[in-house]
Amino acid sequence: MKFRCKKTENCFAGAQTYEYELPITGQELTALLGGWDITENHRFRRPVFSARREGLEIKGILAARVVKVNYTRENWEEEKRGLEQWMEEITL
Amino acid sequence: MNNAATSWPKPEEVGEAMAKAVCRLPGTANRGGIEDVNVFDQVREELALLMGVSCPEQIALGCNSTWGLNQALFGFPLEAGDTVLTTKAEHNAVLRPLYRMAQEGVKVVYVRTDESGRILPERWEAALKEHRPRLCVLNHASNVTGAVNDAETLCALAHDHGAAFLLDLSQTLGYIPVKLETWGVDLAAFTGHKYLLGPQGTGGLYVRPGLVLRPHMVGGTGVKSDLKEMPEEMPLHLEAGTGNEPSYHGLLAALRWSREHPLDREAVDGVLQYLADGLAALGCRVIWPDAPRMPVLSFTVPGYTPEEAGDILTGSYDIICRTGLHCAPDIMEDIGMPSGTVRLSLSRFTTRKEAGEALAAVRDLTESVQL
C-alpha cells in the first residue's frame, strides 16, 4: 500500500506525531490491524476510531483516508520504521 | 473559532484591496510625491486614531507583532545587569527574546497571574518595588484566557518606579479600546491579522516620541542611501527593507471597514457567556475571567486530553479550535491547567447558533465518555 507521510507538530517539542494519507479509509485500516486494541465511536457526527498497541496510537475519522499516528517518545524511530514497513507490505 | 490565532472571516473588502494592490503598479518606497498614495502612511493614520496617539509617524510597520516586540526588546537600551519585569502570561514572542537576553546578562523577573490569567496590580507593584526594573513588558490580554489587564494602572505603576513600559497589543487592538498617550505607554506592539481583521504579514510597533531604539534590523530604506546608519527619523529608523504593500492595502481596508462598522462588544460577550455557561453545564472546566475580557474561552473536557478533544471537534465537527499551550507555556501552571487547554476564540461574526453547534459537539464528547 502506498501512502504519504507528514510530521505534524503540536505544542510539545518531543511529540512524535505523523499524519498518513492512505489509499484506504480508517474503517478499512482497522480491519487490517490484527492484535491492536481498537475502539470506535459512532456518536460523533463523523465517527472516529482509535487503535492502540504498546503505547503506539493510530486514530482518525473512520470514513477518511488520513490518519494520525502518535509514536512513543522513547522508541519512535523503530516504531515508525516498523509501521511503515507493515503498511508498504499490504497488498490491496 | 480560532480568531485569537488569526481572524476569519475577514471583511470581503480586505481580499479585494489586496488583489487590486498586487495587480497595479507598486508604490515608490518612500520616494512618492504629494499626489502618490502611500498605503503605509494611510495605515499609520488609521492606527493612530485607534491607538489614541497623535504622532502617526511613531508607528513603525513590519510583518507582525513578533517583529515589533523584537524591535522593542532588542532595541531598548538595556545592559547586562539590568532587569526586565514581565509576566507568566506572555506569549513566546516576548518570552523567547527575553530568554536570549537573559543569556546575555539581563535579569528577567516574571510576575504570576491569578487563576484567570490576569495580573493583579498589587503583585505587579510588589515586584516593581523589589526588583527595580528598567523595562516592563505586559500582555494587554492573555491569549489563553482572554483576561484583559488594566494597562493604564500597570503602566502608571511602572513609571512610578522608574521603568519604561512595553505593552503587547496582539490580542486586544481592534477589540478593546486603547489610549496609549493617555496611559503613557512607551512602546506598544500590535498585529494586523487578529481583531483588526486584516491579513497576516502585518503588524508593528508604536514608539513614544523621544524614546529612541537601536534598530534590531538594518538595511535599505529607499531614501538617504548615503548614510551608513538607519535614518534617525521615525518610522524610517525601524523600517528596513521593502514593506508588504499588498497586505497593508488589505489592512487599510479592514481598518476603514471597522471604523464604518463599529464593533458591538456586548453582543460578542453575550455569545461568549452563552458558550461559557454551556460548557460549564456540561462539566467542562472553564477559565472565566471577570470583565473586561477578550472573546476567548479556555477549557478542558473531562475524560479527554486537550489534543483529543480538539481533534474530535475539528475532525468530526469542523469546529476549528486550538489546543495545547497556545505559545504561552508559563501561564498554564498559574491557571491550574498544566497540560494545556482547548481554546475557542470568537469574533464579531460568530453567531449564537455557531456557539450552540460547538456546545452540541462538546455534549457528544462528554456523553461519550459517560457511556
Q: Write the DSSP string, B204-229.
A: EEEE-TT--PPPSS----SS-TT-SS
Distance in angstroms (rounded) separating the CA atoms of residues B79 and B252: 38
Question: Is B329 in the A-facing interface, judged by CB distances under 8 Å?
Answer: yes
> Hey, what amino acid is at B340?
G
Q: Residue range B352-358: average pLDDT?
A: 98
- Per the prediction, chain A carries an average pLDDT of 94
Q: Report the mean per-residue pLDDT for chain B.
A: 96
Q: Is A11 on the interface with B (CB under 8 A)?
A: yes
Answer with the residue of higher pLDDT: B29 or B125: B125
Q: B interface mutation test: which of A12, A25, A44 has the most B CBs within 10 A?
A: A44
Does residue B371 register a pLDDT over 50?
Answer: no
Q: Does domain B265-370 have CATH number 3.10.580.10?
A: no
The three cell numbers locating residue A14: 518531543
Query: Which residues of chain B are within 8 Å of residue A64 when distances are taken between CB atoms?
Result: 315
Q: How far apart are CA B82 and CA B272, in angstroms?
A: 41
A10-19, A34-43, B122-131, B356-365 — which is least confidently predicted? A10-19
Q: Taking Cα atoms as reference points, which of B268, B143, B259, B258 lies closest to residue B197? A: B258
Taking the domains of chain B in order of start, what are their residue ranges?
A: 12-260, 265-370
User: B203-253 pLDDT, tens per residue?
Assistant: 999 999 999 999 999 999 989 999 999 999 999 999 999 999 999 999 999
Partners of B361 on chain A (C-beta within 8 Å) are 44-45
In angstroms, the separation between the Cα of residue B98 and the nearest Cα of chain A is 19
Q: What is the pLDDT averaged over residues B36-43? A: 91
CATH of B12-260, one of 3.40.640.10, 3.40.50.2000, 3.40.190.290, 3.40.50.620: 3.40.640.10
Query: Contact at 8 Å (CB) between A35 and A83?
Result: no
Best mutation target, A45, A49, A65, to test chain B (most B CBs within 10 A): A45
Grid coordinates representing B8 are 476569519
B370 pLDDT exceeds 70?
no
